[in-house]
Amino acid sequence: MITTTQLTKRYGGILAVDGVSLDVQPGDIYGFLGANGSGKTTTVRMVLGLVLATSGSVDLLGRRMPRAGRAVLPRVGALVEGPAAYGHLSGRANLALLDSSGTGGTRRSRSTRIDAVLEQVGLAAVGRRPVKAYSLGMRQRLGLAAALLRQPELLVLDEPTNGLDPQGIREIRELIQGLHRRGTTVFLSSHLLAEVEQLCTRVGVLDRGRLVLQDSLASLQRPTGRTVVHTPDHERAHVLLDGRVEHREGERLIVRGADPAALNALLVADGVRVRELGPERRTLEQVVLAATEHPDHQVGVS
């Protein structure tokens, strides 16, 4: 769906994006993570043909960009750098302008499509209000509605939950998951680890313009080969395990060994009370910190 090869962008002496090779496959919810200023939005704009790359290449839906933009972009929905809209017009009127310029169909079919996307993003009740009266969160929802008008094969979203309250964030997350279940591939650019961890199947991490990590979330969070044990008898457990404890913090022990059942049997047989026990898995935060703390070593890039 998206393939970039050594994609690079310079602004004068500033290297904004440095040799990024993305691989977004059909069916992915791909989380593109990076701090603000890391080059995420510049990369997204190059993918969509809005900014020309200094070097490297972009293939979007199997076609070379920006040359194939006219043929490819109608199959892509995008929300980049916040929604643009005419403030004096209603949300519905803004969508009607967008729809009439690109999707075709009869006036009735366009009206039905607009009703559907306004309902999807939670703006059905305010669709006839002027956009200048919308909150930031409502404007963000309107931008997402615009991205959904063409029922896209690929949805490219840059910080889609910006300005939303917790309820709105949950609703947008559920909307994205629903679209994915119906066959839409999603490319989600975000600086929010929790958002990506809850939504995405694959992750790419950009750090100072470089792609330092790219892999499936399941692979990144696979068991580490250690076991986490929570026990009030931590001193006794530490002695019993004789050198296998790699780290202890209060009642929590990290034990070398990947067989929780055998470890549990050993502890219980010796009378050690076990509150909780299971394989250790790294959080996405731990994975990202490990990758960005060592920028000279790309981790899991595939």
Asked if residue 155 and residue 19 are part of one domain, the reply reads: yes
Asked if residue 276 and residue 154 are part of one domain, the reply reads: no
Which span out of 34-38, 170-174, 228-232, 278-282 was modeled with the highest average pLDDT?
228-232
Asked if residue 214 and residue 145 are part of one domain, the reply reads: yes
One DSSP character per residue, 112-150 reads: HHHHHHHHHTT-GGGTTSBGGG--HHHHHHHHHHHHHTT
Asked if residue 55 and residue 141 are part of one domain, the reply reads: yes
Domain tally for the chain?
Answer: 2
Would you say residue 267 lies in a domain?
A: yes
Asked which of 173, 197, 219 is the last residue of a domain, the reply is: 219
Would you say residue 296 lies in a domain?
A: no
Would you say residue 94 lies in a domain?
A: no
Asked if residue 141 and residue 66 are part of one domain, the reply reads: yes
Looking at this protein, which amino acid is placed at residue 289? L
Are the CB atoms for 187 and 204 separated by under 8 Å?
no
| Mean pLDDT calculated for residue range 126-137 | 90
Range of the domain at 272: 223-281
Asked if residue 268 and residue 145 are part of one domain, the reply reads: no
The pLDDT of residue 297 = 45
User: pTM score > 0.85 for this model?
Assistant: no
CATH code, domain carrying 272: 3.30.70.100
For residue range 53-108, what is the model confidence (pLDDT) as tens digits? Answer: 999 999 999 999 999 999 999 999 999 876 778 899 999 999 998 876 555 556 77
CATH code, domain carrying 205: 3.40.50.300
Would you say residue 119 lies in a domain?
A: no
For residue range 257-278, what is the model confidence (pLDDT) as tens digits? Answer: 889 999 999 999 999 999 999 9
Would you say residue 262 lies in a domain?
A: yes
